[in-house]
Structure 1
Amino acid sequence: MSRNLQFKDFLLLMLIVALSTLSFVKKARAIPSFSRQTGLSCDVCHTVFPHLTPFGRDFKLHGYTYDYSKLIKFSRNQYKQQASEEGFLPNLAVNQIPMLSLRVKSQYSHMKGGSNVPSATHFNWVKGSSLYFAGEIAPDIGTFTELTGINDQGGSLTLGGFDLALVGPNEKLGPYNLTFGLRGEDMVGFSDPTNSVGNWGALLHGFSGGISSRNRFFEAFAPSPLEGGEIYAMLGGFTHGGLYAAFGLYHPTSGQVGKTSPTYVALTDPGSASATFDGTSNVDEYGRLAYFFPGFDHIYTEIGTFGYFGHENITASEAPGNGEYSDAVREYGLDGQLQYIDSHNLFEIFASFIHDRNGSFYGHDIYNGQLINGSAVAANNFSINADYYYNRTYGIYAKYTYQHSSELKDLNVSGEAVGLSWYPYQNVNLRLEEDVYNKDNPDVAATGGSASDYDTTRVMLQYAF
């Protein structure tokens, strides 16, 4: 596709945005399944998607079920009465409202390029998409399941995220509410009430602030899908002060039909560039503790810590000897969040610091041209995101990330992203973003040039139905 044609597509995208804003109505019911099932508008749970309000955190904590909340019960009863009077739905019930939602993202991007790196312009009508199966299955069981991967580059449908919740009965411990339950999921911390993705963007190859996802630096596979579960409990709440704790067990899986070709961020067999890995054994542990301060003057804050402890045995099909290596991963982190939410103004800050250490790393450091043969490798990552919105409609956001390893130079990346964001409706978002790289060793090592050659301008349009 030529650049001129791509630019015409970009102009067509902007025309569609303009026409869409004329065709939507504020009370449209074509919004995601949680809103359709609860009768509440999206901004009750979200500040701006996907960030959560205190009420949204509580909804997630209760496993996407309804009976715990007086507000949801009242809204559903009001909606049932309105439906009965207007005749558009006889009832608002779980089995009568589809638990399906669809999100589609279109994107135009232009990479700056340089003397050794050609500039690149891309337009994708379907850069990414997600199909969500989400909501209450039974009074104490709920789910949030994302299927993703369908795009106009030939992607196939895959499981993006899975959270199945079994929530215990509401209890009291002295004057405090006690909420507890069990979660089954395929991503560490996916069910955590603080874990909503940072500001949109592709800066730093997808690394962003928030809870650890394990799919970061050192895995037996790149990336490393997981299967496991957590037990969790919350004493108190998100507006009057509360303590959240979780403990999980996870088992990494290849996600590649049992075989994964090694890359510079995955284990490789020393002396054999063609080695593939057959599987892992043992189980990893995860722990999480977070405190939510009592809200005051529309301000809500959180501070937390977490740790991931991996100790698999990795079996390589072409490895010498018994073909097993120890993958002693240790990951520790601190995170904090602050939100100011009033009737017109929204201000948010999300920050995290994560230290990763692999006690026995086998891999190729492309940037240095060296093979790391079983020595320890560590890395630190600091990320901070901030955004401001007026009337939850007009926004500006910024992000900074710094990532460094003394032993594995391929991991060294730092840069900023700044952007403008517009929500003409709660389920439609248009963004303009500029990514600026101070250091970009992975790309520089692979293709040459300098970090600034990979600076990128993006325009994104996202719909959720």
Structure 2
Amino acid sequence: MNTCQNSLISSWFTALARPPRWVVLIALAWLGIPTLASAVPSYARQTQQPCVACHVGGFGPELTQFGRQFKLMGYTMKVGEQTDVPLSAMLVESFTHTQKAQPEAPANGFGTNNNTELQQASAFLAGRLSEHIGVFAQATYSENGGLLGWDNMDWRYARMFSHGSHSGIWGISLNNNPTVSDVFNTAPAWKYPYMSADLAPGAPAQPMLLGGLAAQVVGVSAYMQLDGAWYMELGGYRSLSPAFLRSVNGHFDGRLSGVTPYARLAYTWNLPTGSVSLGGFMLNMRRGQVGTNAAGDAVALPGPTDRFRDFGIDASYMYIKDDHAITVDGLYVHENQRLDATYGGGGSDHLRNSLQSLNLKASYWYRHTYGVTLATFVDNGSKDATLYGNDGSPNTQGESIELGYSPFGQSNSWAQPWANVRLGLEYTYFNRFSGRVHNIDGAGRNASDNNTLYFYVWLAI
């Protein structure tokens, strides 16, 4: 969830030329002029709470314990009478620099290095619809691709219950991505990095649970929190039509065979100054191959399917007291693959493969205003030269450091809870890329040449 990320984009931002746009954004962020308050984040308006009540660092999406409960209750908690339509918006402008220019431009309309981008312009329907029904639904435009598409969606029905000495919350979520309904920031849909460069090289392969079905499916899951400690969720997902996905996402990755089950279990130890959680994930999916029709559009092909079985474990620690906030998150996912469709079509060397992904991060925030985050990542798996090229290894690993500044969002901030902005500076270092340290592409490029400096201005209104 991203409570204070919510926003309604003003169209004139997209019309600004790049140099003036940067001047305007940075001026707004640092000076805090009233233009930022032209619309209020819908969750903050609904609850009359400052952003730090729900978010670590005064800005989304990393949730506090209160933020987790707000999401579990279906985004329905409110203070006073709510008469406004729960609309909000978000704008992200970014700059990306790689240590060495990329061999080719990462996308149409961009250069091989030093790219500025309107990375996201999102409109949200986000808030309480009735006593037990709430919504988080996002549509996003990106300069990379030039498409206004379907983004995260989470419609909820939630109620509290009690039985004997036990009490809790149960609910139903209609959503478009396994783990988007989760309340922990170890979940793949909400894990760190919360904002990252989309015009820089990334891992060549990751398990399906890490975004492989995002905005490609629709599903229903039932969840329950028991005694403020146990969290359980069980759901199933089906594919959407290729025509619909081409129109809202610009691509179609293949049709799922039947219903894809998803399960989640976690336990939280609530502490006087925070919490500790431990949990696990499961996803079991079959997906067919993609071809093209006479018109050149992507379509699902009949025949065998590829099977992906993902299992993940996660853990988190949160400490918040006075001016200090510390969070530590870890996620490990293992995927077993049986590639009947890919292997049968000559797309892989092996019928059975596997992938593993490990992500660790630790953050410290002072007064929810000044933050630093250290992270490390490893993506690895079976060697398969046809799938991955070079040495046939997807092994990609590195570290990152991010400095963050969130000037607003506290209870005593200027114009709270309406002004929300974060400035972030992130540096990502690659120790290995596609299985190699040197000559990763056969043309002399090294893993360190993909090291990325990334700066963003993130506004929510």
Task: Calculate the TM-score normalised by the size of structure 1.
Answer: 0.76
Do 2:136 and 2:153's aligned partners in 1 also have CA atoms closer than 8 Å? yes
Do 2:306 and 2:341's aligned partners in 1 also have CA atoms closer than 8 Å? no
Q: CA deviation at 1:389?
A: 0.7
User: After superposition, what is the alpha-carbon deviation per residue over 1:346-394, rounded to whole angstroms, capped at 9, x for unaligned?
Assistant: 1111110000111125559xxxxx8415601101100011111100001
Do 1:289 and 1:304's aligned partners in 2 also have CA atoms closer than 8 Å? yes
| Candidates 264, 272, 275, aligned match of 1:288 | 264
What pairs with 1:445-460 in structure 2 (closer than 5 Å)?
A: 445=441, 449-460=445-456
| Candidates 398, 401, 410, aligned match of 1:418 | 401
Do 2:150 and 2:215's aligned partners in 1 also have CA atoms closer than 8 Å? no
User: After superposition, what is the alpha-carbon deviation per residue over 1:394-426, rounded to whole angstroms, capped at 9, x for unaligned?
Assistant: 111121110101234633211111111101113
Pairwise CA RMSD of aligned residues? 3.5
Q: CA deviation at 1:13?
A: 2.9
| Candidates 60, 73, 80, aligned match of 1:62 | 73
The reply to whether residue 246 of structure 1 matches residue 240 of structure 2 is: no
Question: What amino acid is the match of 1:44?
Answer: A
Describe the SS at the equivalent of 1:377. Answer: strand
Do 1:204 and 1:401's aligned partners in 2 also have CA atoms closer than 8 Å? no
User: After superposition, what is the alpha-carbon deviation per residue over 1:105-130, rounded to whole angstroms, capped at 9, x for unaligned?
Assistant: 11111111179789611112x22121
What pairs with 1:158-237 in structure 2 (closer than 5 Å)?
A: 158-168=149-159, 170-194=160-184, 195=187, 196-199=190-193, 200-202=195-197, 205=202, 213=209, 215-216=211-212, 225-237=216-228
The reply to whether residue 139 of structure 1 matches residue 113 of structure 2 is: no
Separation in 1, partners of 2:329, 2:454: 22
Query: Residue in 1 aligned with 2:84?
Result: 97
Query: Residue in 2 aligned with 1:299?
Result: 274
Unaligned runs of 5+ in 1: 1-7, 67-71, 78-91, 261-265, 267-275, 365-369
Separation in 1, partners of 2:243, 2:335: 24
Describe the SS at the equivalent of 1:386. Answer: strand
Separation in 2, partners of 1:457, 1:279: 36
Do 2:176 and 2:215's aligned partners in 1 also have CA atoms closer than 8 Å? no
Q: CA deviation at 1:227?
A: 1.0
Q: CA deviation at 1:153?
A: 4.3
Query: CA 1:448/1:280 → structure 2, altered by over 3 Å: closer, same or farther?
Result: farther
Describe the SS at the equivalent of 1:441. Answer: coil
Query: CA 1:144/1:391 → structure 2, altered by over 3 Å: closer, same or farther?
Result: same
Q: CA deviation at 1:313?
A: 5.2
What pairs with 1:27-46 in structure 2 (closer than 5 Å)?
A: 30-46=39-55
Further displaced range: 433-442 or 182-191: 433-442
Describe the SS at the equivalent of 2:100. Answer: coil
Describe the SS at the equivalent of 2:407. Answer: strand
Larger radius of gyration: 1
Q: CA deviation at 1:30?
A: 4.3
Separation in 2, partners of 1:104, 1:214: 24
Query: CA 1:279/1:374 → structure 2, altered by over 3 Å: closer, same or farther?
Result: farther
Paired residues in the alignment total 398
Describe the SS at the equivalent of 1:157. Answer: strand
Query: Residue in 2 aligned with 1:326?
Result: 305
Do 1:224 and 1:253's aligned partners in 2 also have CA atoms closer than 8 Å? no
Query: Residue in 2 aligned with 1:84?
Result: none
Further displaced range: 194-203 or 156-165: 194-203
Question: What amino acid is the match of 1:192?
Answer: D
| Candidates 421, 434, 455, aligned match of 1:441 | 434
| Candidates 363, 372, 375, aligned match of 1:387 | 363
Unaligned runs of 5+ in 2: 1-16, 106-111, 294-300, 389-393, 410-419
Query: Residue in 2 aligned with 1:86?
Result: none
Describe the SS at the equivalent of 2:359. Answer: strand
Query: Residue in 2 aligned with 1:83?
Result: none
Do 1:178 and 1:235's aligned partners in 2 also have CA atoms closer than 8 Å? yes
Task: Calculate the TM-score normalised by the size of structure 2.
Answer: 0.77
Question: What amino acid is the match of 1:138?
Answer: S
Query: CA 1:55/1:375 → structure 2, altered by over 3 Å: closer, same or farther?
Result: same
Separation in 2, partners of 1:98, 1:334: 38
Further displaced range: 152-161 or 355-364: 355-364
Q: CA deviation at 1:42?
A: 1.3
User: After superposition, what is the alpha-carbon deviation per residue over 1:115-163, rounded to whole angstroms, capped at 9, x for unaligned?
Assistant: 9789611112x22121111111111111100111x23445221111111
- The one of the two structures with greater contact order (alpha-carbon pairs below 8 A, sep at least 6) is 2
Further displaced range: 298-307 or 197-206: 197-206
Separation in 1, partners of 2:192, 2:136: 18
User: After superposition, what is the alpha-carbon deviation per residue over 1:324-345, rounded to whole angstroms, capped at 9, x for unaligned?
Assistant: 1132210000001111101200
Separation in 2, partners of 1:384, 1:433: 16
Separation in 1, partners of 2:146, 2:176: 20
Q: CA deviation at 1:31?
A: 3.6
Query: CA 1:18/1:359 → structure 2, altered by over 3 Å: closer, same or farther?
Result: same
User: After superposition, what is the alpha-carbon deviation per residue over 1:419-440, rounded to whole angstroms, capped at 9, x for unaligned?
Assistant: 1110111311001111111122
